[in-house]
Copies of this chain bind each other. A is one copy, B any other.
Amino acid sequence: MAQRKPVCLVIGAGSGIGGHVGKRFAEGGYHAVLCRRTDDEGLTRLVQDIENRGGTASGRILNAARENTIEDLVSEVEHDIGPIEVAVFNLGAQIGDRQLADTPYKTFELGWRLAVFALFRLATALTPHMLERGRGSILVTSATAAVRGNAGQHSHAGAMGGRRMLCQSLNAEFAPRGIHVVHILVDGPVESPDTLGKVVLGDSGYQKFLEENGRGKDRIIIPAELAESYFHLAHQHRSSWTHELDLRPFTVLPCWNH
């Protein structure tokens, strides 16, 4: 019965990190609740893919920027599906490189709304449930921009820097009460048809990039492999918890190097 399984809730479950992390937890015995803003069809395929492998999952179209969406989702999942043992917060706020003069107020605000405020709302809604059970994991995907600003990154860095400090604050309050918060710094390009493919490189550029850097070359993060680390982090013994780590392909210069 799906209802009795522990739930892994993924906010931001597309074809990249979020979807593959959902699959990994489903494989590991969790019911995956997969949320994304658009593409009902892609979402259905993801759920079916999990079910075809013998797992269970549900899909939700969710606009995390809108009032009460995250709050209602948490209530509903806790009530109707099962205890959220693991939440994966995987909303991005990258808008590409833009000079300050080309960064509208609305864009800057939306970056914060998705990257910081949505996590604050999720934590506010979810931690009471986790505190009652005395345990739970909140795994937060983050980016290089959380640890260093850069030209053209006013919106992204201004948001991600807040996300990281919020994670440290959540961890300081909740770790001693059994909730494991992890800030996962993804410091390299990720194989992701939706984001890197459609948004950044375009379809044909993306195919070429994959041929040169993808499977076998491994110069781009393969999200199914990255998902192993998410799963490991959620299952670290509480005597030995990680709060921050970085991940990147072996060929990618870390963000602190030139």
Contact = CB atoms under 8 A, between A and B. Distances in A.
B225 A237 contact: yes
Interface stretch (A51-59, A79-87, A120-128): A120-128
A243 interface: yes
A194 B204 CA distance: 52
Contacts of A218: 237-239
Interface string A114-155: 001100110110011000000000000000011111111110
A258 B109 contact: no
Nearest to A191: B239
A243 B246 contact: yes
Integer count of this chain's copies in the complex: 4
Given A151-B173, A238-B218, A168 B178 contact: no
A150 B258 contact: yes
Interface centre among A117, A121, A170, A173 (most CB of B within 10 A): A173
Nearest to A165: B161
Interface in A44-92: none
Contact of A168 (B157, B229, B238): B157
A226 to B, nearest CB: 4
A40 interface: no
Contacts of A116: 112, 158, 162
Given A237-B225, A241-B248, A257-B172, A158 B165 contact: yes
10 contacts: A120-B154, A145-B165, A158-B163, A175-B250, A175-B251, A176-B250, A225-B237, A238-B249, A241-B247, A241-B248
Interface of A: 99-101, 103, 105, 108-109, 112, 116-117, 120-121, 123-124, 127-128, 145-154, 157-176, 178, 180, 218-222, 225-226, 228-229, 232, 236-251, 253-258
